[in-house]
Amino acid sequence: MMQSEKKITRSNAMDIIRRFARDYRKALGKAPGEIIIVGGGSIMLNYQFRDTTQDLDVILHTASGIKDVIVRFADENGLPRDWMNTDFVKTASFSEALTEVSRHYCWLNNQTLEIRTVSGVYLIAMKMVAHRDYRNDISDAIGILIEEAENGHAFTYDDVEAAYQKLYHKMPDEKLRNQFRDLCSKSTSELKAIYNSQIDTEALVGDQLITYIKDGADINTNNVNEITARIRTKMQQKR
């Protein structure tokens, strides 16, 4: 079956997850499980500024047959086969400590399957590690800072750095430290202006990358950061 362009949104995400849970139980019985949703999926479930996500980045503590259930469910429901992205654990943003800092979101299947999410400063730390100019990493981090502050939970830079060290056992590099010290010192109104500008920049960089790829450029994981840096430099020179 061809992959669909169907999106996972705030309005349909829990329906998709509940229906998947039923298939999980049919295939694997009462085997207990834990699914930890991180990244954009967790942002969408916990915050209001993100309406959709490309996929659900997950950490699985479940019966071994779950990956077959994920693929079969995708084929039967018009979703991409990687709608539940288990390869997240191979990325730089993964940390074993994410399981520890995750929080209960809901129970499914008569409390045999638990959905957990990661939020707050730990999501910000993950976005700092990813830090892709062509994705929504920095704008997502800013969006979290805004919503948490508006809900009475403003984060200081020390909070963010402590979360980063807990997950990755190291300090952010100097550029990230300076960038996030500055962001954490801003008012919510200032952050909102920065957020809007950052969203626009990320979209422009992403669009330019797509154009390069369509024109035959060899862009891969080894050179994409260098190429996006060049795009950003050109954009700044035109301003």
pLDDT digits (tens, 9 = 90+) for 64-80: 899 999 999 999 999 99
Would you state the pLDDT for residue 239? 63
Q: What is the pLDDT of residue 61?
A: 96
- 194, pLDDT greater than 70: yes
Residue 106's alpha-carbon distances to 64, 97, 99, in angstroms, are 21, 20, 15
pLDDT at 236 over 90: no
Look up the pTM and report it.
0.89
Confidence bin at 208 (pLDDT 50/70/90): confident
Least confident range of 4-13, 15-24, 153-162: 4-13
DSSP states of 60-112:
EES-TTHHHHHHHHHHHHT--TTSEEGGGGGSTT--THHHHH-EEEEEETTTT
| Residue 83 scores a pLDDT above 50 | yes
- The mean predicted confidence, pLDDT, of the chain is 92
Whole-number pLDDT of residue 133 = 76
* Residues near 101 by beta carbon (within 8 Å), at least 6 away in sequence: 118, 122, 163, 166, 167
Taking the mean position of all CA atoms in its chain, how far away is CA 104?
Answer: 17
Q: Check pLDDT > 90 for residue 115.
A: yes
